[in-house]
């Protein structure tokens, strides 16, 4: 096994906890929140989940699991009906379950709190802490000020409580057009934190919501809905990514002003991965512009893409545990994920034979009509996997790369005059080759030793090489899709002038070839993961059928990502 790539962030080894787990352990110790641990994972249902989300899922659900009685809610943060769909709600649940996590009886929805949130907004108005602003969006933007200059107060800022209550109810009742007015918190237009300069709490948006239909024509903003949903569910630790650091002040202000239960927000660095993009907006663009086969394309960093590629959920959990949690942004090498896949697949994937770049071998002293059937174990260590029968006949396919006419000393595979083992079958010796008019080898002629049946010799003579093979007349042709990283550039988010991340797509990221498989592989159902011996890990694709098997390459046996990087240099 190769060595694991080194994680840029600190690993939480043994008893040393990451900074979030340390805070939570201290809170449990001191009796804050009565020793309860209640986290949540709050996706917006506006896309499929990706590896970044997996990091957050493993963190939130993982922490809950580590504490007695700990709970993690799955909550759909569904406050923007223009971008949200039920398809995403379904896929998110499927992905979280597949990753191995359990959110209890039912998922939660911010939309279930719309009435409660409305009540909190009314309360803020009554306290003189919120107002309806009829300024245009441009005017509001201009009045916001900059990092160095304070903002200016809106002319509508000092409307009376009665007037604001009346206007807010009329907003709800649909008396104003989209964008005509907003509800804003009345905080401090001179605050050094721009987020505190009278942030918008509600906006008018006539759009049919995937759950509440047309009941509402205005929707709460993220900052308002998020903290109050956390409070409503009695979350203890609200863990989010660093870009919300400045929002924490507003999170705390709203809960304190309203005098409701207060969870604690903690920020951590989001996951960035080499050779990929992890932003829903960019992933949607890849899908909509047809650069990939869909959200679940095996090259996508989505959970559904990784699943289709053949990545086991354990590998993603192991990856998330290895990268750890930190407070500073960093970039994780995609090779780390491949390493985790290989490690798991090496343990569990049955091993069968397939030839991806075939050349024909004819065993000249083997009778024309004879067929031997060899029983081979499906896994060298896991006896419970059982065995399968593999037919052997006079004509076989081997890998083109397993034969060389001019072989260097250390070449232990096939060459003229040398003997090798055909896995679990016979020893064969190459006698000569047949070539076409271009000098390309079309046939390799060998003789076999009938005394070596099963792939070993009683006289104890040794061969250095063992090759995999498939009987030509029993071979099942299959479509095999070979994948490489979707982006050539290590960081496709960093674009040069005049370019977009789309320009960095690797044109060879998918190569479709025909491979020849032993018959048992044609029985694989979609999602079954196997090792093609000596080649790599493959997974039967959703498109697979017994008549036309389709496999995706999950990972090579060794690090191919490194090779890609080397080739670029
Ligand atoms: P994107 O940036 O892809 O649009 P998002 O943050 O808008 O993602 P949400 O659905 O709002 O997506 O995210 C749900 C949770 O997943 C949030 O708590 C968010 O912090 C977390 N999350 C999203 N992307 C990452 C990432 N790259 N690394 C770690 N956590 C992430
Ligand atoms: Mg978001």
507-553 pLDDT tens trace = 999 999 999 999 999 999 999 999 999 999 999 999 999 999 999 99
CA nearest to 396, candidates 347, 469, 459, 321: 469
Instruction: Check if the beta carbon of residue 516 is closer than 8 Å to that of residue 358.
Output: yes
Q: What is the pLDDT of residue 503?
A: 97
Q: Which ligand is nearest to the CA of 92?
A: 1
- As a whole-number percent, the residues of the chain with pLDDT over 90 amount to 93
The annotated binding site for ATP is made up of 44-46, 50-56, 241, 270-271, 278-280
> Domain map of the chain by residue range?
19-268, 351-568
Residues with CB under 6 A from ligand 1: 42-44, 52-53, 55-56, 240-241, 270-271, 278-281
Kindly state the average pLDDT of the residues 100-124.
Answer: 97
Q: How far is the CA of 92 from the centre of ligand 2 (A)?
A: 14
Kindly state the average pLDDT of the residues 283-309.
Answer: 98
Residue 57 alpha carbon, nearest atom of ligand 1: 16
Q: What is the pLDDT of residue 549?
A: 97
Q: What is the pLDDT of residue 330?
A: 86
268 has pLDDT over 60? yes
Indicate the Cα dihedral angle 221, 226, 232, 237, nearest 10°: -170
E-strand ranges in 42-153 read 71-76, 108-109, 130-133
Kindly state the average pLDDT of the residues 394-409.
Answer: 95
| Atom 3 of ligand 1, nearest CA residue | 279
* Mean of pLDDT over the chain: 95
Q: What is the pLDDT of residue 14?
A: 52
Residue 14 is given by DSSP the state T
Structure tokens that stand for 301 in this block: 């960093």
11 has pLDDT over 80? no
| Atom 27 of ligand 1, nearest CA residue | 52
Residue 55 alpha carbon, nearest atom of ligand 1: 29
Query: Within 13 Å, how many C-alpha atoms sit on residue 467's CB side?
Result: 28
Q: How far is the CA of 215 from the centre of ligand 2 (A)?
A: 24
Residue 56 alpha carbon, nearest atom of ligand 1: 30
Q: How far is the CA of 403 from the centre of ligand 2 (A)?
A: 54
- As a whole-number percent, the residues of the chain with pLDDT over 70 amount to 95
Q: What is the pLDDT of residue 560?
A: 52
Catalogue the active-site residues: 44, 270, 280
Radius of gyration in angstroms for the set of CA atoms belonging to the chain, rounded to a whole number: 31
pTM: 0.93
E-strand ranges in 89-171 read 108-109, 130-133
Residue identified by tokens 């409580």 is 161
Q: How far is the CA of 550 from the centre of ligand 1 (A)?
A: 33
320 has pLDDT over 50? yes
Tell me which long-range contacts 52-56 makes (C-beta under 8 A, separation of at least 24): 52/270, 52/271, 52/278, 53/95, 53/303, 54/99, 54/303, 54/316, 54/319, 54/320, 55/270, 55/271, 55/320, 55/323, 56/239, 56/241
> Phi and psi at residue 357, in whole multiples of 5°?
-135, 80
- Residue of 241, 244, 319, 330 to test ligand 1 pocket, by largest number of atoms within 8 Å of CB: 241
| Atom 18 of ligand 1, nearest CA residue | 240
**Distance of alpha carbon 191 from alpha carbon 198, whole angstroms:** 9
Q: How far is the CA of 53 from the centre of ligand 1 (A)?
A: 5
Tell me how far CA of residue 411 lies from CA of 181, 428, 460, 466, 509, in angstroms. Answer: 76, 16, 22, 12, 30
Q: What is the pLDDT of residue 12?
A: 46
3-state secondary structure 546-559: CCCCEEEEEEECCC
558 has pLDDT over 90? no
Assign a CATH topology to domain 19-268: Rossmann fold (3.40.50)
**Distance of alpha carbon 405 from alpha carbon 231, whole angstroms:** 73
Strand order in the sheet with 354-355: 351-352, 529-532, 536-540, 550-556, 476-483, 510-517, 354-355
Kindly state the average pLDDT of the residues 342-359.
Answer: 97
Residue 237 is given by DSSP the state E
371 has pLDDT over 90? yes
| Atom 15 of ligand 1, nearest CA residue | 43
Residue 16's pLDDT band (boundaries 50, 70, 90)?
Answer: confident
DSSP string, 16-64: PPPHHHHHHHHHHHHTGGGG--EEEE---SSS--BHHHHHHHHHHHHHH
- Give the distance from CA 517 to its chain's centroid: 29
Count of helices and strands (H, E) across the chain: 13, 25
For the four alpha carbons of 245, 250, 256 and 259, in that order, the dihedral sign comes to negative
Could you tell me which residue, 344 or 5, shows the higher pLDDT? 344
Instruction: Check if the beta carbon of residue 10 is closer than 8 Å to that of residue 326.
Output: yes
Residue identified by tokens 């590998």 is 315
Contacts of 251 (CB under 8 A, 6+ apart): 223, 226, 227, 238, 265
Q: Span 351-568: which CATH code? A: 2.40.240.10
Q: What SS3 state is found at 216?
A: coil
279 has pLDDT over 60? yes
E-strand ranges in 234-332 read 237-241, 264-268
Residue 44 alpha carbon, nearest atom of ligand 1: 10
Kindly state the average pLDDT of the residues 368-383.
Answer: 96
The β-bridge relationship of strands 71-76 and 108-109 is parallel
The β-bridge relationship of strands 476-483 and 550-556 is parallel
- Give the distance from CA 192 to its chain's centroid: 38
């Amino acid at each position: 096994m190769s060595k694991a790539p080194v994680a840029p962030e600190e690993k939480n080894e043994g008893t040393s906890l990451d900074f979030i787990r340390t805070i939570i352990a201290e809170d449990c110790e001191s009796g804050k929140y009565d020793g309860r641990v209640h986290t949540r994972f709050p996706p917006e249902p506006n896309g499929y989940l990706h590896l970044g989300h997996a990091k957050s899922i493993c963190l939130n659900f993982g922490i809950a699991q580590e504490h007695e009685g700990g709970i993690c809610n799955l909550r759909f943060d569904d406050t923007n009906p223009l971008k949200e769909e039920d398809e995403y709600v379904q896929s998110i649940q499927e992905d979280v379950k597949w990753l191995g996590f359990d959110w209890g009886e039912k998922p939660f929805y911010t939309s279930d709190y719309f009435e409660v949130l409305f009540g909190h907004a009314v309360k803020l108005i009554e306290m003189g802490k919120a107002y309806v602003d009829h300024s245009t969006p441009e005017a509001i933007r201009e009045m916001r000020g900059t990092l160095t200059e304070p903002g200016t107060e809106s002319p509508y800022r000092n409307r009376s409580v009665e007037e604001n209550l009346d206007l807010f109810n009329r907003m709800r009742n649909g008396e104003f057009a989209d964008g005509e007015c907003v509800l804003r918190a009345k905080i401090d237009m001179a605050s050094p934190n721009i987020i505190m300069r009278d942030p918008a709490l509600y906006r008018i948006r006539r759009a049919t919501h995937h759950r509440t239909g047309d009941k509402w024509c205005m929707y709460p903003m993220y900052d308002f809905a998020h903290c109050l949903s956390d409070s409503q569910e009695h979350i203890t630790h609200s863990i989010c990514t660093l870009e919300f650091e400045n929002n924490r002040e507003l999170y705390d202000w709203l809960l304190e002003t309203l005098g409701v239960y207060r969870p604690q927000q903690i920020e951590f660095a989001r996951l960035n991965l080499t050779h990929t993009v992890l932003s829903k907006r960019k992933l949607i663009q890849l899908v909509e512009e047809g650069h990939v086969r869909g959200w679940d394309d095996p090259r996508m960093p989505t959970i559904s893409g990784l699943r289709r590629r053949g990545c086991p959920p354990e590998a993603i959990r192991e990856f998330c545990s290895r990268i750890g949690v930190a407070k500073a942004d960093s970039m994780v090498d995609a090779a780390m994920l491949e390493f985790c896949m290989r490690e798991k697949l090496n343990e569990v994937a049955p091993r069968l034979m397939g030839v991806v770049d075939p050349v024909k071998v004819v065993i000249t002293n083997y009778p024309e009509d004879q067929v031997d059937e060899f029983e081979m174990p499906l896994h060298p260590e896991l006896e419970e996997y059982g065995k399968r029968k593999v037919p052997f006949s006079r004509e076989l396919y081997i890998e083109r790369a397993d034969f060389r006419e001019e072989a260097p000393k250390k070449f232990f595979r096939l060459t003229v005059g040398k003997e090798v083992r055909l896995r679990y079958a016979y020893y064969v010796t190459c006698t000569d080759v047949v070539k076409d008019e271009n000098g390309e080898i079309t046939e390799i002629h060998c003789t076999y030793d009938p005394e070596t049946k099963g792939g070993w010799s009683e006289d104890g003579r040794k061969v250095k090489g063992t090759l995999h093979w498939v009987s030509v007349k029993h071979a099942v042709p299959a479509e095999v899709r070979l994948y490489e990283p979707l982006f050539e550039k290590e960081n496709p988010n960093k674009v040069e002038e005049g370019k977009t991340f789309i320009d960095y797509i690797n044109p060879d990221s998918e190569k479709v070839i025909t491979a020849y498989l032993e018959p048992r592989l044609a029985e694989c159902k979609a999602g079954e993961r196997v090792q093609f011996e000596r080649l790599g890990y493959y997974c039967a694709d959703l498109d697979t059928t017994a008549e036309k098997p389709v496999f995706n390459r999950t990972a090579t046996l060794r690090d191919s990502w490194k090779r890609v990087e080397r080739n670029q240099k």
